[in-house]
């Protein structure tokens, strides 16, 4: 049922995919006994298309319809993902209070159903939005809980993301040695799981922190690694930015030794 729409979406024809998912939902609703799980899946994929097309209000509405279904059929994982998607949409728009409200509903559902991996994901998201909101102490508490859980459940990708978020907090507080340590932990994890984009961002973080610590050789080494990763990444276009930063380091290191 979903194959053609998925193919169209994978080819970048998002509007066509949106139309097809809408048609799938209509088809499901016309059945004598609609498959509610299929309808919820179609609503989620419709919402993804709407989001990519910048039709965010429609995307939120689609996710909320999927949430109602997941609650009706007692699928807490689906419900948590729907609430998480709505929270992410509000986060993108800078509506942090509403974003956190959605994430907290998702967290409550995860706790109620003892879904530890999903709890870790949501706590990280809450921590990140609290950080964006300037509530740094609360953010660190949420992120530390996410880190502890993700380590216990073996979620290495999430562990790396959370470490990076904690590193950004320490960097903002000028606790540069702690920030460097967290970025390095995250970088090693991302290298271990072959997450190129994640390792690239961590190397940039290491490079920036080492620069502020006047550790120019370490900064240069991290940035050179980041530049090499740019060539492997399918999404990063940060090569020129990194080259400019490397040039700045070379210049400043030369002036300090002249």
pLDDT of 258 higher than 60: no
Mark which of 17, 47, 74 sits at the end of a domain: 74
How many domains in the chain?
3
CATH number at residue 60: 1.25.40.10
Rounded distance between C-alpha atoms, residue 157 and residue 145, angstroms: 16
Rounded distance between C-alpha atoms, residue 55 and residue 93, angstroms: 12
Is 101 in the same domain as 144?
yes
Host H or E run for residue 59? helix 56-72
pLDDT of 232 higher than 90: no
CATH number at residue 203: 1.20.58
pLDDT at 122: 98
Q: Tell me the pLDDT of the chain averaged across its residues.
A: 95
Tokens of 8: 């169209």
Residue 168 lies in a domain: no
Residue pair 124/87 in contact (Cβ under 8 Å)? The answer is no
Distances (CA, A) of 92 to 54, 58, 153, 249: 11, 15, 28, 33
Residue 127 lies in a domain: yes
Residue 178 lies in a domain: no
DSSP helix/strand/coil, 220: helix
For the chain, what percent of residues have pLDDT higher than 90? Answer: 88
Residue pair 144/166 in contact (Cβ under 8 Å)? The answer is yes
pLDDT of 47 higher than 90: yes
Domain of 106 in residue numbering reads as 76-148
Place of tokens 């930063």: 245
Question: Structure pTM?
Answer: 0.92
Place of tokens 């066509």: 16
pLDDT of 236 higher than 80: no
């Amino acid at each position: 049922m979903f194959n053609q729409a998925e193919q169209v979406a994978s080819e970048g024809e998002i509007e066509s995919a949106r139309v097809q998912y809408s048609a799938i939902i209509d088809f499901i609703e016309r059945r004598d006994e609609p498959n509610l799980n299929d309808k919820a899946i179609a609503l989620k994929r419709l919402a993804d298309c709407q989001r990519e097309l910048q039709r965010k209000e429609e995307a939120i509405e689609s996710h909320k319809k999927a949430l109602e279904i997941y609650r009706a059929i007692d699928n807490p994982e689906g419900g948590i993902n729907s609430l998480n998607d709505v929270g992410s949409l509000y986060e993108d728009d800078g509506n942090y209070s509403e974003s956190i409200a959605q994430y907290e509903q998702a967290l409550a559902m995860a706790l109620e159903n003892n879904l530890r991996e999903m709890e870790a994901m949501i706590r990280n998201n809450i921590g990140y939005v609290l950080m964006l909101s300037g509530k740094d102490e609360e953010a660190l508490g949420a992120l530390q809980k996410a880190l502890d859980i993700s380590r216990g459940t073996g979620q290495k990708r999430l562990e790396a993301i959370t470490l990076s978020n904690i590193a950004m907090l320490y960097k903002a507080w000028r606790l540069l040695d702690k920030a460097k340590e967290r970025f390095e932990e995250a970088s090693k994890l991302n290298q271990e799981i072959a997450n190129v984009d994640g390792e690239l961002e961590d190397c940039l973080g290491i490079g920036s922190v080492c620069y502020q610590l006047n550790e120019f050789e370490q900064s240069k080494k991290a940035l050179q690694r980041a530049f090499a990763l740019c060539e492997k990444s399918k999404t990063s276009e940060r090569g020129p930015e990194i080259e400019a930063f490397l040039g700045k380091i070379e210049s400043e290191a030369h002036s300090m030794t002249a």
